[in-house]
Amino acid sequence: MIDFQTSPDRYRHWKLAFDGAVATLTMDVDPTSTLAPGYELKMNSYDLGVDIELYDAIQRLRFEHPEVRAVVIASANPKIFCAGANIKMLGVSSHGHKVNFCKFTNETRNSIEDATANSQQKYLCAVSGTAAGGGYELALATDYIMMVDDGNTAVSLPEVPLLAVLPGTGGLTRVVDKRKVRRDLADIFCSIEEGVKGKRAVEWRLVDEVVPSSSFKDAVKARAAVMAATSDRPGGKGVTLTHPARAISADAVSYPHIEITFDRDNRAANITLKGPQTAAPTDVAAIHAQGVDFYPLALARELDDAILHLRANETSVATWVIRTEGSHDLVAGYDALLQKFGTSDWLVREILLYWKRTCKRLDVTSRTLFALVEPGSCFSGFMAEILFAVDRSYMLDGTFEGSDAQPATIRLSGLNFDGLPMGNGISRLATRFLGEPDSVAKAKDEIGKDLDAAACAALGLVTGTPDDIDWEDEIRLMIEERAAFSPDSLTGMEANLRFAGPETMETKIFGRLTAWQNWIFQRPNAVGEQGALKLYGTGKRAAYNQERV
């Protein structure tokens, strides 16, 4: 099992150091601490295990360190800043593992950009020693790249010449779209194994600044101070991210607020999010006091871990059926806090951003996502966002026979319209109603109301509203049907239908770049017995089929 929970005391590959408003995150990969056998993490190369620590560190910097306003990514290896994803690891990994690994590393790099842009925790990269492939892609995710000018240090994307794959962790996209490197120079850059160093790297926009060795340390420090000075992070006490309790058995995973049971026959997971049990605190001080137990944060952390766990460890579970259980009024109390303090309090802002990122993780999850709205559910405000992230949602019209429960309702809040954008930059409701923008306005008029099945159907908020007579059959058939389709075609279909409307650098990375990389990860020229990934390090040259397709 791949565990995404870790903490600094268990890190094998990263070191965190603090100096006032500036933290330094130093990569120092232990070659022998690998996630799987069959390779060594030489030259600061990484596998998923290294990236799990990186992700954890980024999260902790945000939540545990309100005093940190700038983060320097550095390397403990004087020769190699970072050699990128370990090639031997890629060579021995299954197709599924490679794809899932790349998705997580992409999400982690996006979270660096999100921290810089939205948490005001600004990342810069201090490249000393070569940053190759994924090493440079890590630098690309930061807001400012400084490179030592020592005649040796270079940045490079050697994937095409060396490995017959792509710089697939955002590299190709960020080079032309974020750093706006001219396409012909980018083409040359991606063809040069040894990369580009010194002034030319600045001229081509590959890095922001080169600095002589002798003054590099001071220059990085000075630049970090400048970046920190523009941040609004207030300092003070952070929230320690203790691990949520989790119990994993053969047919269930449970957290304090999430229960997952598996319907193995239908290759489905039933995921129930439990609403808050107690009323929301009344002020910011109380939110801070609750810390990691504050319901929205607790839920986000559990859902995040659950998504990552299911993606990596339950690859045959193809359909996720998501339910909620709880009180609209209680959720609404927390939702109101998120809205009220989401811009003024650093912690509430962080929590809202975390929920945004967690919903985005759902958006790019290659599983069919269904939501069921049943009596007793609490799809309300930020939790209702799940309904607009899934592929289909069904809401029971009325109650189940013999039940005295109240019929299910849905409650919208301002967060469904603003504050939780998809990767495409617009809200899920705006994406949903691309063809009828008036429907967004109509839904907005219903904020705060308890909307029953008829109202939700009229507003177009759910896919269907079967009654008790049809409910069981309809849901069962839908789940069985999904299990009968090719998982690959579903992945492709969902990746195309979920992202109507604008495309952004982020959607380009998950759409265009990732899709091409996945294609290449299937091609014999990369992964065949004579392919470059397989032969790397053996001294043999790959034999390519020369046909262009």
Ranges within 317-336 binding a copy of itself (CB under 8 A): 317-318
Q: Which of 218, 283, 473, 481 binds a copy of itself (CB under 8 A)?
A: 481
Phi, psi of 209 (to 5 degrees): -160, 140
Q: Rule CB under 8 A: is residue 119 a binding residue for a copy of itself?
A: no
Strands annotated E in 60-178: 70-75, 80-82, 84-85, 122-127, 130-132, 144-149, 155-156
Q: Rule CB under 8 A: is residue 202 a binding residue for a copy of itself?
A: no
Cβ–Cβ < 8 Å for 213, 149: yes
Q: Which of residues 525-544 bind a copy of itself (CB under 8 A)?
A: 525-526, 532, 542, 544
Q: Which of 185, 202, 284, 292 binds a copy of itself (CB under 8 A)?
A: 185
Cβ–Cβ < 8 Å for 446, 452: no
Nearer to a copy of itself, 230 or 496 (CB): 496
Q: Which of residues 494-523 bind a copy of itself (CB under 8 A)?
A: 494-503, 507-508, 511-513, 515-520, 522-523
Q: Which of residues 49-68 bind a copy of itself (CB under 8 A)?
A: none
Query: Among candidates 338, 461, 364, 290, which has minimal Cα distance to 104?
Result: 364
Q: Which of residues 414-433 bind a copy of itself (CB under 8 A)?
A: 431-433
In whole angstroms, give the CA distance from residue 257 to residue 324: 10
Q: Which of 111, 120, 153, 491 binds a copy of itself (CB under 8 A)?
A: 491
Q: Which of residues 433-452 bind a copy of itself (CB under 8 A)?
A: 433-436
In whole angstroms, give the CA distance from residue 26 to residue 50: 12
Q: Rule CB under 8 A: is residue 190 a binding residue for a copy of itself?
A: yes
Nearer to a copy of itself, 72 or 317 (CB): 317
Cβ–Cβ < 8 Å for 271, 260: yes
Q: Which of 2, 219, 487, 536 binds a copy of itself (CB under 8 A)?
A: 487
**3-state class of 335 per DSSP?**
helix
In whole angstroms, give the CA distance from residue 280 to residue 196: 54
Angle, helices 346-363 vs 295-313, to 10°: value is: 30
Please count the other Cβ atoms lying within 10 Å of the Cβ belonging to residue 415. 23
In whole angstroms, give the CA distance from residue 229 to residue 21: 9
Amino acid found at 89? M
Q: Rule CB under 8 A: is residue 343 a binding residue for a copy of itself?
A: no
Q: Which of residues 233-262 bind a copy of itself (CB under 8 A)?
A: none
Cβ–Cβ < 8 Å for 398, 407: yes
Q: Which of 486, 529, 538, 539 binds a copy of itself (CB under 8 A)?
A: 486
Q: Rule CB under 8 A: is residue 265 a binding residue for a copy of itself?
A: no
Q: Which residues pair with 464 in a beta bridge?
A: 394
Amino acid found at 512? R
The H or E element containing residue 388 is helix 385-389
Q: Rule CB under 8 A: is residue 18 a binding residue for a copy of itself?
A: no
Number of residues this chain uses to bind a copy of itself (CB under 8 A): 94
Q: Which residues pair with 156 in a beta bridge?
A: 132
In the shown chain, the binding pattern of residues 206 to 235 toward a copy of itself, with x for contact by CB under 8 A and - for none, equals ------------------------------
Q: Which of 54, 85, 140, 181 binds a copy of itself (CB under 8 A)?
A: 181
Q: Which of residues 382-421 bind a copy of itself (CB under 8 A)?
A: 390-393
**In the complex, least distance from residue 160 CB atom to a copy of itself, rounded to whole angstroms:** 5
In the shown chain, the binding pattern of residues 274 to 313 toward a copy of itself, with x for contact by CB under 8 A and - for none, equals ----------------------------------------
Q: Which of residues 153-172 bind a copy of itself (CB under 8 A)?
A: 159-161, 163-166, 172
